[in-house]
Structure 1
Amino acid sequence: MAATRYGHISVRELTLPAPAKLNRLLHITGRREDGYHELQTLFQFLDHGDTLHFKRRDDGVVSLTSALAGVADDDNLIMRAARLLQSDTGCRLGADIHLDKRLPLGGGLGGGSSDAATTLVALNRLWNLELGLEHLAALGLQLGADVPVFVHGHAAWAEGIGERLTRVELDTPWFLVLHPGIEVSTPQVFGAPQLTRNTPPISMARALQEGPGTWRNDCEATVRRLYPAVDEALAWLSAFAPPLLTGTGACLFCNFEDEADAREILAQTQDGWHAFVARGCNVSPLHQALGLL
């Protein structure tokens, strides 16, 4: 029987994006008893990221043919997402998965969380499970606080540990994203004594009304102290446009109205830095590909 197709996408084989995200604002408003931090943040996607290839298997085996250096399969969020979906549904199908990795580890772009979300959404389609996005997002939360926003696939104001989401429409400029060639440890940043943890909460309406010119990242000062390479890159970028850290870093970004302006600065980045230009998206490229939103 011929495979049913969704546009150019077959339900037996899928190739789908796992887009990057930016935290265009990140406030830390408190610390919980369980050690996690209360956050307020604005998530937005980029039209740049990893790509995942899936091929359905009928024997229940899940294989990842592109292991990440230093990351065991049992710790890889792609494998954990696939196995969690099997366990939750009792599904006896499997998949061969191949990852084309473009996003840096420890970069603050949500690469691992996005890979996990794409895996949940793709295998839900590949295995004909017909689970809703709310169900998949609840599974994703077991894998990481950033996974649900990638599952839901829309720019969002987030609170709690980042899992309480409200859709927003943000401006969609061109971004220059710069990675200074290091990996930042999120536990180290959140464990730092000097980290700001008492920013007064604000409403989503106020944050949007005040606009991008007022947005900041409460992690930035701490990351700059702990990682001189980030401090150096931020100082360099500030000569061209106001830069911000995304997540806990190490990636930094500036926004521009014109793509040409962003690419002009891209051409001047130093050796040892990795940078790219991408457009901001309010609807995830994953959901655009599958027609989900």
Structure 2
Amino acid sequence: MNLPEFATTRTLNNCPAPAKLNLFLHVTGRRPDGYHLLQTVFQLVDFSDLLHFEVRADGQVRRTTEIPGVPQESDLIVRAARLLQNAIHDRTGAAAPGADIAIEKNLPMGGGLGGGSSDAATTLMALNHLWQGGLSREELMVLGLQLGADVPFFLFGRNAFAEGIGESLQKLDTPGLWFVIIQPGVTIPTALIFSSSELTRSTKPVKMTDFSIASKKLFGKNDLEPVAARQFPEVADAIKWLGKHGDARMTGSGACVFCGFTQEEQADEVLKLVPNRWKAWKAKAMQEHPLAGLLDR
């Protein structure tokens, strides 16, 4: 993975927005406001979008890359930048600069890999640095939660055991696995799965130590998987196929499915066998977000 290039104080290029996998995902209840209570382990992997930032003096925020189906005004990248501008203004009383933001989009939308959330987190980290906003990691995480429940995890910067709606995070060391990830060719709206009457919301809560004991193999299950698999047969087919080679499961609310291997060679062999009708990648587990150091500078 390319690391960011600090070409000048006005630009920051090749900033990774890595994917995440949910090694398990349990739905343990539902709050009165409708948000679901979850337990999960978030795993960073070295498969990412790349973002490029250039400071503007006029305060405008522009996404310079067209993304089909994603209007600029609703893009989490643009919303994150404007949210940060407001936070810096509230903090200092001064107007924050603007930015031109380009993106090389590699993570599929509606795939359960956290692409939009990761893009937003990378935007917050990069622009906080370029604009000299001075916000701490914790302050950025509070901002990020306004954009989506997964955003604080990417700002947290480490693999984590997560609870609540995903914002309560504890650092967790995870096995150094290699993953084969399959995109079955469908896009799944998160709200569709969480609103389903078929979704069970009563999985018994576990402790982080339960996961640690079982860390040499995948722990638990994904409570969203049966719902998605029934509504999207392509997901069920991908899980069935990949399950012939190991413990395959869906990440997030879908549609991507994955399987972990202890050796890179094992992942390479399975990747060669993936049917041509599906897109597939190999990705390595990471312990830390590549931009975590920006908040320590």
TM-score by length of structure 1 reads 0.94
Q: CA deviation at 1:8?
A: 4.6
Q: 1:210 to 1:147 in 2, by over 3 A?
A: same
Count of residue pairs the alignment pairs up: 287
Partner of 2:86: 87
Asked if 1:171 corresponds to 2:175, the answer is yes
Post-superposition Cα deviations, 1:83-111, rounded to whole Å, max 9, x if no partner, equal 10111112330111000000000000000
Structure 1 residues 1-293: aligned runs within 5 Å: 8=6, 10-15=8-13, 16-90=15-89, 91-211=95-215, 212-287=217-292, 290=294, 292=296
Between the aligned partners of 1:119 and 1:10, the Cα distance in structure 2 is 17
CA deviation vs aligned residue, 1:143-167 (integer Å, no higher than 9, x gap): 0000001011100111000001111
Whether the 8 Å contact between 2:136 and 2:295 is mirrored in structure 1 is no
Q: Quick check: 100-109 or 211-220, which moved more?
A: 211-220
- When residues 291 and 164 of structure 1 are mapped into structure 2, their CA distance, relative to the original with a 3 A threshold, is closer
How far apart are residue 67 of structure 1 and its match?
2.6
Post-superposition CA distance 1:46-78 (Å, at most 9, x none): 011100000111111111011321111121000
> Alignment identity in percent?
47
Relative to structure 1, the CA distance from residue 218 to residue 9 in structure 2 (aligned partners, 3 Å threshold; closer, same or farther) is farther
Letter matched to residue 12 of structure 1: R
| CA–CA distance in structure 2, aligned partners of residues 25 and 75 of structure 1 | 30
CA contact (8 A) 1:106 1:184 kept: yes
The amino acid that maps onto 2:275 is: Q
- Mark the CA change 1:9 to 1:121 in structure 2 (over 3 Å): closer, same or farther: farther
* Mapped contact 1:46–1:279 kept (Cα < 8 A): yes
Distance 2:55 2:268 in 1: 39
How far did 1:7 drift? 7.7
Residue 68 of structure 1: SS of its match in structure 2?
A: coil
Q: 2:195 & 2:295 partners in 1: Cα distance? A: 40
Which secondary structure state, in structure 1, belongs to the residue aligned with residue 291 of structure 2?
helix
User: Could you tell me how far apart the structure 2 residues matched to 1:126 and 1:79 are?
Assistant: 16
SS of corresponding position for 1:46: strand
In structure 1, runs of 5+ residues without a counterpart are: 1-5
Gaps of 5+ in 2: 90-94
If the length of structure 2 is used for normalisation, what is the TM-score?
A: 0.93
For the Cα contact (< 8 Å) 1:11–1:125, is it kept in 2? no
C-alpha distance in structure 2 between counterparts of 1:252 and 1:292, whole Å: 34
Distance 2:106 2:22 in 1: 19
* 2-structure distance, mates of 1:152, 1:123: 16
Backbone CA RMSD of aligned residues? 1.6
SS of equivalent to 2:273 = coil
Letter in 2 for 1:32: R
Residues 21-46 of structure 1, C-alpha deviations (whole Å, 9 max, x = no match)? 01101100001111110000000100
- C-alpha separation in 2, matches of 1:87 and 1:249: 33
